[in-house]
């Protein structure tokens, strides 16, 4: 994996390039969110990129994509694991 790593405390943040439509963008996610995003995609039988694209389409324009992904993952985890 060629994602750049940055260590912050004991949690690594990965800068992962994602291709959304005709635009390329990067999202910064801590490993626990990244892992949960992969679980979320598997549960939906979608690719991670597909889930990110769906989140991107629904997010408020004043919220960045990384924050929107974290919120979507948290909401999914609460529904799934409660």
Residue 24 clears pLDDT 70, i.e. is over it: no
- pTM of structure: 0.76
pLDDT at residue 13, rounded to an integer: 67
Q: What is the pLDDT of residues 27-74, one digit of tens each?
A: 888 888 989 999 999 999 999 989 998 999 999 999 999 999 999 999
Whole-angstrom CA distances from 57 to 32, 33, 63, 64, 75 are 23, 19, 12, 12, 17
pLDDT at residue 1, rounded to an integer: 39
Separation between Cα atoms, residue 18 and residue 25, nearest integer Å: 5
């Amino acid at each position: 994996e060629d994602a750049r790593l940055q260590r912050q405390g004991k949690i690594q943040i990965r800068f992962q390039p994602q291709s959304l439509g005709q635009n390329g963008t990067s999202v910064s996610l801590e490993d626990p969110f990244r892992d949960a995003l992969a679980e979320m995609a598997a549960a939906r039988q979608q690719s991670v990129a597909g889930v990110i694209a769906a989140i991107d389409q629904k997010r408020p324009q004043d919220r960045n994509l990384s924050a929107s992904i974290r919120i979507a993952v948290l909401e999914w985890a609460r529904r799934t694991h409660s």
